[in-house]
């Protein structure tokens, strides 16, 4: 079961990807997690990725495609996987399809979590991230036990540059221009599934399971 999660930044696709991965025992592959790990380690890739992410821009294809294709070829992906944050553009989607075709594979589902822009701006401006372990919270929907302190490791929480309202607006603009065309791309391939991301998180997941099966 090979699944791609689609949706604007902050739509909740990452949360749903984790729930899908847990239920179906397949890896959750997030390019965001890979980038953050590299940024924290100070690698060349991390420094390059951070430059783009801090501006609310997409990380260029050449920093992403080979990394993802290599990852999905690993043993733990034999039963499938959930891609979260990739592909983000038509060229990336085409590169992924071409790489999978070489090993006689293809994606099974592209799940689009649909949320209006105004909801996303409100959601993301309330997000907080731990400077030490990277755990994320929300001051309204998922607050920490102690304000400003990470529940996991006790680190300090910050509003990341890419979650500030002005950056979110820019990220949404980039999304609509470059990533939203994927909806039509996967519709044409007859694998697109659309779910309402404004309803309760668990209800969104219930709708997804109805499509994927128990």
Q: Is 88 a catalytic residue?
A: yes
Q: Which one from 13, 19, 36, 50 is the annotated catalytic residue?
A: 13
Taking residue 75's Cβ as centre, other Cβ atoms within 10 Å add up to: 5
Q: Confirm whether 171 is a catalytic residue.
A: yes
Three-class SS state of 2: strand
CA 111 to chain centre: 12
128's enclosing H/E stretch is: strand 127-130
**Which of 80, 81, 106 shows the shortest CA–CA distance to 93?**
106
Could you say which of 2, 19, 127, 128 is catalytic?
127
Tokens matching residue 132: 């030490």
**Residue 207 neighbours by CB distance under 10 Å:** 17
The active-site residue, picked from 40, 160, 164, 170, is 160
Annotated catalytic residue 128: no
For the question of residue 13 being annotated catalytic, the response is yes
Q: Containing H/E element for 129? A: strand 127-130
Which are the contacts of 190, defined by CB distance < 8 A and separation ≥ 6? none
Residue 145 annotated as catalytic: no
Beta bridge partners of 130: 157
- The one catalytic residue among 2, 36, 50, 88: 88
Active-site positions read 13, 88, 127, 160, 171
């Amino acid at each position: 079961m090979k699944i791609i999660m689609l949706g604007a930044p902050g739509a909740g696709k990452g949360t749903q990807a984790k729930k899908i991965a847990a239920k179906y025992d397949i890896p959750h592959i997030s390019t965001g997690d890979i980038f953050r790990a590299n940024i924290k380690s100070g690698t060349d890739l991390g420094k390059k990725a951070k430059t783009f992410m801090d501006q609310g821009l997409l990380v260029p294809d050449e920093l992403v495609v080979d990394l993802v294709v290599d990852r999905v070829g690993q043993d733990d992906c034999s039963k499938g996987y959930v891609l979260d944050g990739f592909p983000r553009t038509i060229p990336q989607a085409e590169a992924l399809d071409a790489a999978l075709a070489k090993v006689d594979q293809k994606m099974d589902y592209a799940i689009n979590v649909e949320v209006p822009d105004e909801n996303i701006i409100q959601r993301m401006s309330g997000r907080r991230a731990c400077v030490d372990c990277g755990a994320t919270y929300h001051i309204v929907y998922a607050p920490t036990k102690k304000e400003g302190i990470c529940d996991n490791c006790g680190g300090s929480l910050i509003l990341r540059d890419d979650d500030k309202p002005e950056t979110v607006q820019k990220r949404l603009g980039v999304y609509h221009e470059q990533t939203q065309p994927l909806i039509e791309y996967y519709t044409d391939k007859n694998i697109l599934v659309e779910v309402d991301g404004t309803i309760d998180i668990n209800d969104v997941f219930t709708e997804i399971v109805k499509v994927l099966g128990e």
